[in-house]
A and B are shown apart, each in its own frame.
Chain A
Amino acid sequence: MVKLLKAVNNTIGGTPIGAAAEDKRTSTRSKQAILRKALRAALRVINVVGLLALVLIFAMPFIWMLSTSLKTLPETMIFPPEWIPRNPVWQNYADAWNTGPFLNYFVNSVVIAVGILILQMLTIIPASYAFARYKFKGSNFLFGIVMVTLMIPAQLIFLPVYLELSAFKLLNTHLGLILPFASSAFGIFLLRQAFMQISDELLEAARLDQAAEWKIIVKIMVPMVKPVLVTFALFSFIAHWNDYFWPLVMTTNETARTLPLGIAKIREVEGVATWNVLMAGNLILVAPILVVFFLSQRQIIKAFVYNGVK
């Protein structure tokens, strides 16, 4: 270390004296180049190691879940824990699936998450477009109200919503789980920002091209904000797919219950927590999300890197 410091000192502070130092100078220069290269390589190694560590931290619970889902129950209790089960027990998945009406849960989850997504698209696209593009009286005030709803947690409004749904006889129905999320303040905010980045000239060009307003939105604006839209869709899908609290409160029987409630029920079976089956159930739960994520990965990255035609 001391040597290295000295070398650095030499290359930075060492000023060769006189003509005799010519040789020395070139050697110092090459030394400097080597040192710089070494430093760069070291930095790259540190960078990669750091990133790997981060990946490991985030992936660890996931790997643990996968590993546990393939163990026998006694194996899950072994200490020190074993990462790779000796004989993978695929039966756990079947067991998890059979603890309740899982097909029903699955269908409910799909209907609700997709239903919410479709309704949200129908509401947030026109709303955010209007907020971004039209000047009308009270637009700022209305947008303020939309933003305020972002600050209200679901726990605060579930009771009035529950009473309302019950009055409309919508408890234990898909509609009852979909309607409260028909719009999204976050989505409106996100999309409004994206719409605002689009230049006015593009709209004017479309108007001169005799395009109707809806056509401008569908054919020009929406394709341009596609990455943002996909990102929002993913956020929304994951949030509602994984949502536990809301379906728990709004359902009293199995007809409209979703996967997360089904998974939670596995824990209650037989009084002992069957971690292996539970983890298998969790994997069933997250599998669709992973698929969706892999399909939309590129768009998500795009959404965070602004790309426009210059």
Chain B
Amino acid sequence: MAKIELKNISKKFKDDTVIEDLNLTIKDGSFTVLVGPSGCGKSTTLRMVAGLEKQSGGEIWIDDKCVNDTPPGLRDVAMVFQNYALYPTMTVRGNIEFGLKNRGVARQERDKLVKDISEIVGLTPHLDKKPQNLSGGQRQRVALARAMVKKPKVFILDEPLSNLDAKLRNQMRTELIQLHKRLGTTFVYVTHDQVEAMSMGDEIVVMNKGVIQQADSPMKLYHDPANLFTAEFIGTPAMNMMKMGDVQGLDIQSAAGIGHVGFRPEQALVNASADIEGYAIEGDILTRESLGAENIYQIQARTGVFFVKTFLAPLVAADRVKVTIPYDQLYYFGLGGERLRGIVASPKRLVAAGGI
């Protein structure tokens, strides 16, 4: 169990600044997910916590201890790598107990620990096999077991599921959530997949270009994005964005300059009844994706292409539809991409104001 604090962290690769002045507190016992597009610095941040990469500036604290000069092996951190990084010449048992051996754990205790862990992750029948002879899922379990057996303060997982097929990934996802509940240890997880982030994390850190865009709970991120980047990054399909200049028929009382107006595909109503007050867009349906419980439409409107998602509703057959977005479901972003809150919108030339 440990709290991790990053204070004014910066990282340069030669002349290339990847991360500048990053501050982040990862709560004790949390499942924190760092998410962002590739090259956003999330893996680098993680590797600095593990001690595999040395920060160019700033301090890293694990549990009230500055670990700037602590080698990775002594930080009490265990890591699961994307490609598992299992020692190919050792058996599964050898892989799991290598860390224990290096710590000088006695043989008897080692055997007991390996036995317990392999039971938890279901590897008992495979202990004497080499990693080459295991399936992807089993290798993943070995990597997890190797990390778990050391009983670390912090678990670090670097895109551990991206080498698995979709079904196995879902299964491992739930297993990881359960594992976190069971161990109660701090998990730091890196992924570029926002679905993974949303489903697993209790705290999500959205990063872009080495800067933290928002660190919040999944629901907060979804309902209350702090800026344009987070809004567009979280959610499938992504939030629809319209340039303010393209938006017509919307009366906004705001002094601030609005750059974009956005709405979530699932908040838009297709062919809604007239008494729902909202911003209406007309458009042609380009594609229809029917996933059973939900339908996703790609619609071409005057303002551009956008997506609409409906739940448990029959598939719309018409080519041209009217889409209504309730006023309180519109998100406004400033010219610099920052979120603008408290803006009240109403249809033009109408006295009655709808909205928040």
Q: Which residues of A contact B (CB under 8 A)?
A: 199, 201-202, 204-212, 215, 219-220, 223-224, 226, 308-309
Contacts and interface: CB of A to CB of B under 8 A. Distances in A.
A211 B102 CA distance: 6
B77 A308 contact: no
A204 B72 contact: yes
A206 B87 contact: yes
B99 A210 contact: yes
A211 B73 contact: yes
A208 B73 contact: yes
A223 B73 contact: no
A206, A212, A226: which has the most chain B beta carbons within 10 Å? Answer: A206
B74 A210 contact: yes
Interface residues of B, number: 27
B72 A207 contact: yes
Contact of B98 (A204, A206, A224, A309): A206
A308 B85 contact: no
Contacts of B131: 309
Contact of B88 (A210, A212, A224): A224
A207 B73 contact: yes
B72 A208 contact: yes
Nearest to A215: B102
Interface of B: 50-52, 71-74, 77-79, 81-83, 85-90, 98-99, 102-103, 131-132, 146, 150
B85 A205 contact: yes
A168 B216 CA distance: 74
A204 B89 contact: no
Main secondary structure of the interface of A (DSSP, over half): helix
A30 to B, nearest CB: 42
B146 to A, nearest CB: 8
28 contacts: A199-B83, A201-B85, A202-B85, A204-B50, A204-B72, A204-B79, A204-B85, A205-B79, A205-B81, A206-B87, A206-B98, A207-B73, A208-B50, A208-B77, A208-B99, A209-B73, A209-B102, A210-B74, A210-B102, A211-B99, A211-B102, A212-B102, A215-B102, A220-B87, A220-B89, A223-B89, A224-B89, A226-B89
B103 A210 contact: yes
Contacts of A208: 50-52, 72-73, 77-79, 99
B250 to A, nearest CB: 52
Contacts of A215: 102
A209 B98 contact: yes
Contacts of A212: 102
A218 B281 CA distance: 68
A307 to B, nearest CB: 9
Given A209-B99, A309-B132, A204 B52 contact: yes
A99 to B, nearest CB: 47
The 4 closest A-B pairs by CB, nearest first: A210-B73, A223-B89, A209-B99, A201-B85
Contacts of A219: 87, 90, 98
Contacts of A210: 73-74, 99, 102-103
Nearest to A223: B89
Contacts of A224: 88-89
Nearest to B78: A208
Contact of A201 (B77, B83, B98): B83
Contacts of B86: 205, 309
B112 to A, nearest CB: 19
Contacts of B81: 201, 204-205
A199 B52 CA distance: 14
Nearest to B147: A208
A308 B131 CA distance: 11
B74 to A, nearest CB: 7
Nearest to B97: A209
B98 A211 contact: yes
B294 to A, nearest CB: 36
A245 to B, nearest CB: 39
Given A208-B73, A208-B78, A210-B102, A202 B50 contact: no
Nearest to A226: B89
B98 to A, nearest CB: 5
A226 B102 CA distance: 23
A206 B146 CA distance: 11
A231 B310 CA distance: 65
Nearest to B102: A210
A248 B91 CA distance: 48
A250 to B, nearest CB: 39
B162 to A, nearest CB: 14
A98 to B, nearest CB: 47
Nearest to B86: A309
Contacts of A202: 85, 87
B165 to A, nearest CB: 15
A206 B150 CA distance: 13
Nearest to A224: B89
